[in-house]
Amino acid sequence: MVSQFWQRLEAKPLPPTEESISLRVLVQALVVVGIVAVDVAASTFWSLWAVPLSIVGATWSWYRRRQRNIALKFLLALGMLLALGAFLGNVFSQLNDTRLALAQLLVQLQILHSFDLPRRKDLGYSMVIGLILLGVAGTVSQTLAFAPLLLVFLAIALPVLVLDYQSRLGISTAKKSKKLYGFTPNYSPIPLKRLILFIGVIMALGLTIFALMPRFPGYQIQMYPVSAPGEMANRRFD
């Protein structure tokens, strides 16, 4: 029974793989920025182990992208179940604020996921995880230290979107570079001037929306979620 099941798995055709190294590198950069942003905003040190492991996983995935990796997928599924169990334990111990528990789960899932990225769709999952991590960092951050990482994420995300769109259309980066500009190894999906222009326009729109967004009284904290010290419980203030 097991041998027949294994033979069926081996007989299935392999899914089309993503061959763009530029897209893979930039997606990995998005993930790294998201992890570092959470560290900066929450004063954690996850990037010390998460970033190297994620890079190792992405490198492994590149060299094994045309293999089935059935045993690896099974181990990754077990690891994700363990990460889910740890997340549920953290949630019950941090009911007041579960943002960091969610961020930790996403970091762990991304590390496991980075070992199996054969398709463009898998890279898309990594992009979404990086974006969610950046959002979590934005809600936790209370200083301007988060702002430079937001700009870096934006500068990386724009070429990623272009490369992802080219991949969906089946346009090879090398062929496009050779056809339009002659073969140049330093081909960029977005020229530097246009990239700066796009970033400026997006920043201007974002700041305008932020300035025009109404501030309702409900957004303000009326009472801090803390309890009084024990010695203050029986004291009277007249």
How does residue 26 score in pLDDT terms, banded at 50, 70 and 90? very high
pLDDT at 17: 87
Contact between 30 and 153 (Cβ < 8 Å): yes
Residue 98: helix, strand or coil by DSSP? coil
- Average pLDDT, integer, range 33-60: 92
Question: What does the pLDDT read at residue 237?
Answer: 53
Q: Is the pLDDT of residue 180 over 60?
A: no
pLDDT digits (tens, 9 = 90+) for 65-111: 888 888 898 999 999 999 999 999 888 887 777 888 889 999 999 99
> Cβ–Cβ contacts within 10 Å for residue 205, how many?
10
Taking residues 151-158, report their average pLDDT. 91
Q: Which residues, 6+ apart, have CB-to-CB distance to 13 below 8 Å?
A: none
How large a percentage of the chain has pLDDT more than 70?
Answer: 78
Q: Tell me how far apart the terminal alpha carbons of the chain are, to the nearest angstrom.
A: 81
Using CB atoms within 10 Å of the CB of residue 130, give its burial: 0 to 12 exposed, 13 to 18 middle, 19+ buried. Answer: buried
> Tell me, what's the pLDDT at 177?
47
184-223 pLDDT, tens digit each: 445 567 788 888 898 889 889 988 987 887 766 654 555 5
Q: What pLDDT sits at residue 97?
A: 77
